[in-house]
Amino acid sequence: MTPYTKTLIGHVTKVETGAFEATLAEANEGRLPRIATQSDSDMSGQPGSYVAIIQGDIKLLALVKSIQEIPATSGNGTRKSIKLIPLGEVSPGGVFQNGIKKFPVTGAEIHTVSKEEVESIFVKFRAQGYSVGVASADNSIDVCLDPATLFGRHFAILGQSGAGKSWAVANLLQRAVKSMPKAHIILLDLHGEYSWEDNDGNRQHAFDDKVTRYIDARDLEIPYWLM
């Protein structure tokens, strides 16, 4: 993993079990806050980017949730404050592990991260072939998940009208069928978004016809005990 040199951009000011807060360094402090990305633009504190939290033998990766201006501790100016979502720990060998066993305290350093460090979050799932998209901070990084864990528990896709909920569902299932061709998936399509008839009366699907079976709800018999 890339050594942490000349990458300090701020310090932790608040620690909770599921959220941290930090203030970013200012240019007049000798360090210009900067988070390196694929385009190498000034992305310091941008929501969706990643940072490292370092204190002693503690090394964590966190996701920037939000950024705001707060009153400066001295003078009448302001400075940037970011809220962070801790993701997991990084071992001395550069291996990422979900969850946190040792929490930092206030004063811990906030550092920029490299592409390799961000990739460490997803690399252990890459062999399973379930890539659901790319990282917003760097679109050259594939976001890979464990499909068994994802579909083995309840989760929801939420958003306003037009946000892309239906597209997200189709994307997750299309990629699941591709990586797990023998999986059995039941999709209750109440609004005809994933299977429909075209103007010629032909049945169309959002998924490969070879692996899709359409069942009309009127032909479906459900036992009373299942209701």
Nearest CA-CA partner of 51 in 112, 8, 99, 138:
112
Confidence class for position 36, pLDDT limits 50, 70, 90:
very low
pTM of structure: 0.72
Rounded to whole angstroms, the Cα distance separating 16 from 52 reads 16
For 48: left if phi > 0, alpha if psi spans -120 to 50, otherwise beta; the answer is left
The dihedral sign for the CA sequence 47, 48, 50, 56: positive
Residue boundaries of the structural domains of the chain: 8-123, 124-226
Largest pairwise CA distance in the chain: 73
User: What's the pLDDT score for residue 88?
Assistant: 94
**Overall fold of domain 8-123:** Elongation Factor Tu (Ef-tu); domain 3 (2.40.30)
pLDDT in tens, 141-167: 888 898 888 888 899 999 999 999 999
